[in-house]
A = this chain, B = another copy of it.
Amino acid sequence: MRPTVHDIAASAGVSLATVDRVLNHRPGVRGVTRAKVEAAIETLGYVRDVAAANLAKGRVYPLVFIVPAGDNPFMRGLEAEILVAGRRSPADRAQISILTVPAFDPLALVEAIDTAAADQPAGIAVVAVDAPEVAAAIDRARTTGVPVVTLVSDLAASGRDHFVGIDNVAAGRTAGSLMGRFLGSRPGPVAVLAGSMLVRDHRERLEGFTAAMAEHSEVRVILDVLEGQDDPMLAEELVAMCFNAHPDLAGIYSLGAGNRGLVTAISARAPKGLRVIAHDLTSHTRSALKAGLIDAVLHQDAGHEVRSAIRVLKAKADGVAVIEAQERIRIDIFLKDNLPPEQRGDLRDQVEQDD
């Protein structure tokens, strides 16, 4: 049997309360006493039973997630993952609530943040919009003592405690590296379809993509960015026009949302041998991948992100350090051949520890 607080209390010749104080770095223990207890902990190899501690504490962590509304499939998937986490949240003593706000609307976001902070939750996770008012709102929340993490889209200008999301420059580089290998010495320019260059993630992905493409031996023209506003209709139109203007188009990198339009345009008439790389595995990109219309999809696992956000916020609430390297979100690459199984909603009801 592993040692308990009773064992170290006995071994150190003190009471349970004193052991507890030492364990939790609470004040009111003489140096000598503390040393005795620590020695006992050390020699007995004591490790605290976190489950029992939590049970005794009865502490809960009210957490607020703020996500953009709208039909962006990635965001809807993110929300679904938050709900999943919410359903098994009793297990990790988190109480999760979700606030949806109009997309790309700084003022609405500011209001949501202020509202959330007013309830003094244990933490706030927010999909940030890159605006000074938003940064200010985040700073206000933190001043009130509420930890804030940015989710998916960062806002470094704010004093947010942590960013939960992928390294978008690296994602862009990965796409560029893949595209370079896919194209080899095949001639022709490459197009980039983005949502908006006003969004930080998209700018960063483009930057990484361009850099990685430049590293390849073949010289290749990268056309002016097509800004599809994450809107399927507009994206389709822009891509179709691009096909017209560049019949020799060799590749296209879609670094934002609106991939439904992209796929429509491609299946209508794409230049022969066109290589396509897109972001985020959704029902649309998944089926396009299977059909061979898209070659590869870069992905960030929303479930991982949500669980990471919860861990980080709880850690911040407790004033405990976060192991940054451990909370780094992976950039997944999917081909049609390594697609994960489609998760039915009710399967996710089960406890899912990781993976």
Residues of A within 8 A of B (CB): 2, 47, 49-52, 54-55, 90-91, 170-171, 173-174, 176-178, 181-186, 208, 212, 275, 295, 301, 304, 307-308, 311, 323, 325-338, 340-341, 343-344, 347, 350, 352-355
Contacts and interface: CB of A to CB of B under 8 A. Distances in A.
Contacts of A90: 2, 47, 49
Contacts of A333: 332-335, 338
A325 B341 contact: yes
A333 B174 CA distance: 11
B275 A355 contact: no
A55 B53 CA distance: 10
A354 B307 contact: yes
19 contacts: A47-B90, A49-B55, A170-B338, A173-B337, A174-B338, A176-B337, A177-B337, A184-B186, A304-B354, A323-B350, A325-B343, A326-B343, A326-B347, A328-B341, A330-B340, A331-B337, A332-B333, A333-B335, A333-B338
A319 to B, nearest CB: 16
Contacts of A354: 304, 307, 352-355
A330 B347 CA distance: 17
Nearest to A184: B184
Given A90-B49, A181-B275, A332 B332 contact: yes
Contacts of A184: 182-184, 186
A323 to B, nearest CB: 5
B355 A174 contact: no
A14 to B, nearest CB: 24
A142 to B, nearest CB: 24
A12 B347 CA distance: 30
A344 B325 CA distance: 9
B55 A51 contact: yes
A238 B331 CA distance: 34
A176 B202 CA distance: 31
Given A307-B354, A323-B350, A335 B51 contact: no
B55 A337 contact: no
Contact of A51 (B51, B181, B304): B51
A338 B275 contact: no
